[in-house]
A and B are shown apart, each in its own frame.
Chain A
């Protein structure tokens, strides 16, 4: 096993670790920082994959990831929570230890699901597909279990990170056009979410999305 392969495995494990840390995190501020770290590790691992497989377009993806997910999006989110004046209020629907236990079950599920798929793949990074899938599922669960809007959006962004990693590890990344499109979508999505946050708060005086379950006022 080459050094690059070992490094990719290490980064994959770190991504999984950060996914779990996000799942267990109670503070919005730390959540955003963890998201930035996840982006950084994603960018480095994409660069390492690009270097070993000589896929030059992956360098652009890595650069894009670094710019967007480590600098721009966390900055945007930081600005958002400063304007909304929220730092602490991450509320979960089920308590955190239970969430973590469910998370472990999902990791087992994802690993078993990925085994036959990665057997078909011919890339050097095929072993990490299971981890990528686990990251996607964990972020998905984070979106489900959080009550407030901001952590849900961070969960959405983290899920996109997991998908990007899955694409990198299964097929050396998506075509450049698709990647650019997704990157733009995520950026625009975050802007729109930001505007939504203000609207939600103006209407309901809180960011708790359970207020949105009622369709009409009584």
Chain B
């Protein structure tokens, strides 16, 4: 580890921190256009965040320290997760320290704490949201792991940077198993980020909400941190998708000259991914909560099929 890679890491940390709300704003904007509403502008998440940061936090009387501590933990763990994903360059000191399994572990840690905090106050909504979240995530996690294992088996490494580097610089080969993995990954991404087939991020309808039900008791800076963390989580998931399935254009190790080009390629990729996400959300209807296990079971099944075809075809 030297200064240049450290600088790169710092640059990436700032990038994910600042670009994540922009991506969220872009997705919301696209969704507004597709649904025939006038958009709020892609900078709306920043305005929301600054508004929330200026307000005074209100806490329930029986809130424990866990409740106050969770937004910070959530924010930091999402930031850490996003910092480990190779976004513009593969030469990241943090990324070498942990692999994809640890990455899934970090997401799980954040999830456990938000669920605990949701139950901490003792409102029925919080408990309901926490239970649903656990139902969704315990089905989504194996599917995500299977997807990551497919990529790891092809790249012979569980380190995300190595996977991205292998895919980006190897001779182009069509992997049918990655097609399965890609579909499964998109399904998991939608479920884990509280997107439409499983959860609706823009509703407070009590019967359907999952993520919103958990954070109902939060306000002001706590809420701002949680919303920011959600935006970073979406950004992290999308960039994991890029690292696994579309790694072209990422800067090689020690190649500083390629960095502007990598950034220039990243922006249209993110814009396209955000547009696609909004499109998927606009054309699909929300599933009944009891259909969600079937949906995630399908994602798991596709990932398993991917591993099976990988073993059969040896590519």
Contact = CB atoms under 8 A, between A and B. Distances in A.
A6 B173 contact: yes
Given A6-B315, A97-B294, A127-B314, A13 B304 contact: no
A13 B309 contact: yes
A52 B116 CA distance: 59
B180 A13 contact: yes
A128 interface: yes
Given A10-B174, A13-B180, A131 B312 contact: yes
Contact of A131 (B183, B302, B304, B309): B309
A97 B177 contact: no
B313 interface: yes
B308 A128 contact: no
A182 interface: no
Contact of B180 (A7, A17, A127, A128): A17
Interface residues of B, number: 22
B311 interface: yes
Interface residues of A, number: 28
A14 B183 CA distance: 12
Contacts of A107: 305, 308
B176 A13 contact: yes
Contacts of B32: none
Nearest to A98: B297
Given A6-B173, A97-B293, A97-B297, A16 B305 contact: yes
Interface string A169-213: 000000000000000000000000000000000000000000000
Contact of A1 (B173, B183, B297, B302): B173
Nearest to A24: B298
Interface string A1-38: 10100110110111011001000100000000000000
Given A104-B305, A107-B305, A127-B312, A96 B294 contact: yes
Interface in A12-71: 12-14, 16-17, 20, 24
A108 interface: yes
A80 interface: no
A45 B76 CA distance: 49
B309 A100 contact: no
B271 interface: no
A150 to B, nearest CB: 23
A151 interface: no
Contacts of B177: 13
A150 B300 CA distance: 29
Interface of B: 173-174, 176-177, 179-180, 183, 293-294, 297-298, 301-302, 304-305, 308-309, 311-315
Given A3-B174, A104-B301, 10 more contacts: A6-B315, A7-B174, A12-B176, A100-B297, A100-B301, A103-B301, A104-B308, A127-B313, A128-B313, A131-B309
Interface of A: 1, 3, 6-7, 9-10, 12-14, 16-17, 20, 24, 96-97, 100-101, 103-104, 107-108, 111, 114-115, 127-128, 130-131
25 contacts: A1-B173, A1-B315, A6-B174, A7-B174, A9-B176, A9-B315, A10-B179, A12-B176, A12-B313, A13-B309, A17-B179, A17-B183, A20-B302, A24-B298, A97-B293, A100-B297, A100-B301, A104-B304, A107-B308, A108-B308, A115-B312, A127-B313, A127-B314, A128-B313, A131-B309
